[in-house]
Amino acid sequence: MKAGIHPEYRKVVFSDTSTDFKILTGSTLKSNETIEWEDGNTYPLIKVEISSASHPFFTGKQKLMDTAGRIEKFRRRYGMKSKDAEAES
């Protein structure tokens, strides 16, 4: 690797502001804030709005779309017949 062209890779703490979930991991992001971690060391703190602790996909609170209902709504809006109605004709 060429010296002096790569950002500094170090341990940082990411904190989810909505759930108070924190994780210590490696990153090149910079921060002016710091936090004392469970091991007694001080690390830069990066605040995020969403993480695996608060994202609907990971928490199981994801809403599923009713695709059949959406298709029928589209067909009604644009005057198209449904496939069932076409089969009966």
10-residue mean pLDDT series, the chain (89 residues): 86 88 91 93 89 63 64 81 57
Q: Which pLDDT belongs to residue 81?
A: 66
Q: Residue 81: helix, strand or coil by DSSP?
A: coil
Q: Which pLDDT belongs to residue 7?
A: 87
Three-class HEC string of 5-65: CCCCCEEEEEEECCCCCEEEEEECCCCCCEEECCCCCEEEEEEECCCCCCCHHHHCCCCCC
86: which 2 tokens? Answer: 């076409």
Q: Which pLDDT belongs to residue 77?
A: 84
Please state, in angstroms and rounded to a whole number, the distance separating the CA atoms of residues 70 and 65.
8
Please state, in angstroms and rounded to a whole number, the distance separating the CA atoms of residues 15 and 46.
6
